[in-house]
Amino acid sequence: MPGVTVATSLLEKGISEEESPILSELPGSKDGRHHVQSMLMRESLLDKDVQKSTETPVFKMLPEAHVIKIGGRSVMDAGRAIVYPVVEALAQCLKTKKLIIGTGGGVRSRHVLSIGIDLGLPTGVLAQLALADSLGNAHILGTLLAPFGVVAIPPEIFGHLLPLFIASAPGVIFNGDPPYSLWEHLPPSGRIPPHRSDAGSLLLAECFGCKSLTLVKDVDGLYDRDPRHHPGVGLIREIDSSDLKRRNFESLPFERVLLDLLENARQLRSFQIVNGRRPEQIVAALGGEHVGTIVYGNRKNN
Amino acid sequence: MEDDLLTQLGRSLVFGSLDDARLMAQTSAPPPVQILPEANVIKIGGQSFIDRGRVAVFPLIDEIVENLGRHKMIIGTGAGTRARHAYSVGLNLGLPTGVLSVLGTFVSMQNARMLNYLLAKHGIPFIEPAQFAQLPHYLAERGAVVFFGMPPYVYWHANPAVGRIPPHRTDTGSYLVSEVFGTRSMIFVKDEKGLYTADPKKDRNAKFIGKITLTELEQLDLRDLVVERSVLDMMRNATHRRSIQIINGLEPRNLTRALDGEHVGTIITAE
């Protein structure tokens, strides 16, 4: 990189930037700021045209790994009768596939959120508190998957060491939450942190360029009304994000922010919701079959 | 779980869906407490300020020191030209937004460390996100702390709608600190008086805007802005931090006056 070379040679020769023929020749370099030569030098990163110029193809770090999020309340809190068959299904998948397994926080998260709200704590603090519950569930699931070489990884090192873990183990478990904590975004309504374990799993799959994202819940997929309260409603087999937004369902079986995140995704085109009460769906979904609801993202500005 | 251990809202949250719009609306009350109502968040620009070196930074450091004991200051740092270089290299190599976010974090951390050493003799610490639990103690003891402005989203940084540069950078990270702690002000220290209708460094006809609301700003649809757009998006949903001020830190006394509550730059308000 030319900028690096310039800076390094300046340091080696002990020449100040003011004396440097290379930097002083640059147009506008005398604005009092010490620049390093680069495509974005002196640019406002807030300029819309500059932003557009940065739209280029993205490198995939872990294209063979699958991300699968195991619901907190829907699976982990449902007890042995539900969790053990899910563990068996995951174990079967681990024989042929690399899995990155995220977990939700479930009932304990909801409890701490309700106490936190009652005590007047802001969204960022609620997000920080809730991290502990999904991490607990990651360790619970990690214990059950230990015989298959899969354990929960501490969040502090998880992202940085993920490629190493994926190369050396059949899979890894993390708390599905993104590390937003005190820096959690403010929801448009109320105080519940909008980026929870579904969002963390999607963002991870997108950043690492993973093969698929599967959300394991306690329903077969998306219905136009909650099937637990309205028996007989029809399953929506596939839908795109703009259609979903337009229909504005009062309740969704996944975090609402996923629609925006999926629309801005460059690598991940869809995710599938499957029912953890029917563990064969997990195996089928990771095998590329369409068994639950597939939600596609509509890329805007493209 | 014993139902009588839970409030009505607690029951709804434990048994209902966190993605139910009606239930979400119920979680606004009671209003959140202000955790650090006496503190101020100051964000010091990277490209606009720290990259200017001693000539800009030393007088500002002196002014921060003068305000110790008068105002509590949580000081965040921008990234600047090295982040632009790292983003350029990363974009050229096809790296995703999450990795660019990691790179930007490193640069704003360098800037935080430099300010920290310049303030070290006053006992002012630099804290990373994992040390924020100690922030209230340091603030009570020493009156100021330094942190890196990047929000710690790293690989989980959401993509922007356009391009690949991380959309939530050091302005946003600093702003969110001011909102979550319910501080008394959010001051962005830059090298321009505030917001202009265009980049005043590139357009001589750019006009200064002293005070503006988010709605008015949206109507102007400016091509360039003096703060990250996501700060403005987040202000709409904020409880405590419904206004921000952008000031020219190159002009002596501006920081002090802004800390005293004076209007010296551009004030952007949620309504």
Angle at B47 between CA B44 and CA B53, to 5 degrees: 80
CB-CB neighbours of B219 under 10 Å: 10
Residue ranges of alpha helices (H) inside A119-276 are 123-145, 155-168, 197-207, 241-247, 257-263
Task: Determine the average pLDDT of the residues in B206-229.
Answer: 94
Q: Which chain A residue shows the shortest CA-CA distance from B52?
A: A33
Domain membership of residue B112 (yes or no) is yes
CB-CB neighbours of A197 under 10 Å: 30
Give Cα separations from B177 to A191, A258, B222 (angstroms): 16, 24, 26
Domain membership of residue B25 (yes or no) is no
Q: What is the pLDDT of residue A300?
A: 62
Q: Which chain B residue shows the shortest CA-CA distance from A202?
A: B156
CB-CB neighbours of B221 under 10 Å: 7
Q: Find chain A residues with C-beta within 8 A of B159's C-beta.
A: 206, 261, 264-266
Q: Which chain A residue shows the shortest CA-CA distance from B23?
A: A190
ipTM value of the model? 0.88
How many domains is chain B built from? Answer: 1
Distance CA(B104)–CA(B66), nearest Å, equals: 30
Distance CA(A67)–CA(A141), nearest Å, equals: 15
Residue A63 pLDDT exceeds 90: yes
Task: Determine the average pLDDT of the residues in B68-96.
Answer: 95
Residue B148 pLDDT exceeds 70: yes
Q: Helix, strand or coil for residue B42?
A: strand
Q: What is the pLDDT of residues A75-125, one digit of tens each?
A: 999 999 999 999 999 999 999 999 999 999 999 999 999 999 999 999 999
Distance CA(B136)–CA(B150), nearest Å, equals: 20
CB-CB neighbours of B13 under 10 Å: 26
Q: What is the pLDDT of residue A30?
A: 63
Amino acid, single-letter form, for residue B132: F
Residue A285 pLDDT exceeds 50: yes
Domain range for B54 is 32-269
Distance CA(B143)–CA(B37), nearest Å, equals: 13
Question: If we measure between CA atoms, which residue out of A270, A232, A230 comes closest to residue A249?
Answer: A230
Extents of the domains making up chain A:
2-52, 65-296
When mean pLDDT is compared across A6-10, A75-79, A289-293, the lowest value belongs to A6-10
Please report which confidence band the pLDDT of residue A15 belongs to, taking 50, 70 and 90 as the band edges.
Answer: very low
Percentage of chain A exceeding pLDDT 90: 74
Domain CATH number, residue B161: 3.40.1160.10
Exposure of B137 by Cβ count < 10 A (0-12 exposed, 13-18 middle, 19+ buried)? exposed
Task: Determine the average pLDDT of the residues in A145-150.
Answer: 96
Residue A1 pLDDT exceeds 90: no
Residue B196 pLDDT exceeds 90: yes
Percentage of chain B exceeding pLDDT 90: 84
Please report which confidence band the pLDDT of residue A14 belongs to, taking 50, 70 and 90 as the band edges.
Answer: very low
Task: Determine the average pLDDT of the residues in A58-63.
Answer: 97
Mutate to test the interface with B, among A35, A38, A47, A67 (most CBs of B within 10 A): A38
Chain A to chain B Cβ contacts (< 8 Å): 265
Q: What is the pLDDT of residues B40-78, one digit of tens each?
A: 999 999 999 999 999 999 999 999 999 999 999 999 999
Please report which confidence band the pLDDT of residue B135 belongs to, taking 50, 70 and 90 as the band edges.
Answer: very high
Q: What is the pLDDT of residue B197?
A: 93
Mutate to test the interface with B, among A16, A62, A100, A114 (most CBs of B within 10 A): A114
Task: Determine the average pLDDT of the residues in A136-154.
Answer: 96
CA dihedral angle for residue B201, residue B204, residue B205, residue B209, rounded to 10 degrees = 40
Residue B30: cis peptide before it, omega within 30 degrees of 0? yes
Q: Are B176 and B234 in contact (CB under 8 A)?
A: yes
Distance from CA of A60 to the nearest CA of B (A): 8
Q: Find chain A residues with C-beta within 8 A of B201's C-beta.
A: 31
Exposure of B237 by Cβ count < 10 A (0-12 exposed, 13-18 middle, 19+ buried)? middle
Please report which confidence band the pLDDT of residue A5 belongs to, taking 50, 70 and 90 as the band edges.
Answer: very low
Task: Determine the average pLDDT of the residues in B232-241.
Answer: 96
Which has more pLDDT, B72 or A8? B72
Distance from CA of A192 to the nearest CA of B (A): 7
Q: What is the pLDDT of residues A195-226, one digit of tens each?
A: 999 999 999 999 999 999 999 999 999 998 77
Q: Find chain B residues with C-beta within 8 A of A264's C-beta.
A: 158-161
Which has more pLDDT, A252 or B170? B170
Query: Phi and psi for A205 in degrees, rounded to 5?
Result: -60, -40
CB contact under 8 A, B88 and A40: yes
Domain membership of residue B1 (yes or no) is no
Q: Domain A65-296 in CATH: superfamily?
A: Acetylglutamate kinase-like (3.40.1160.10)
Domain membership of residue B207 (yes or no) is yes
Closest partner residue to B6 among A35, A114, A183, by Cβ?
A: A114
When mean pLDDT is compared across A11-20, A179-188, B115-124, the lowest value belongs to A11-20
Q: Find chain A residues with C-beta within 8 A of B228's C-beta.
A: 46
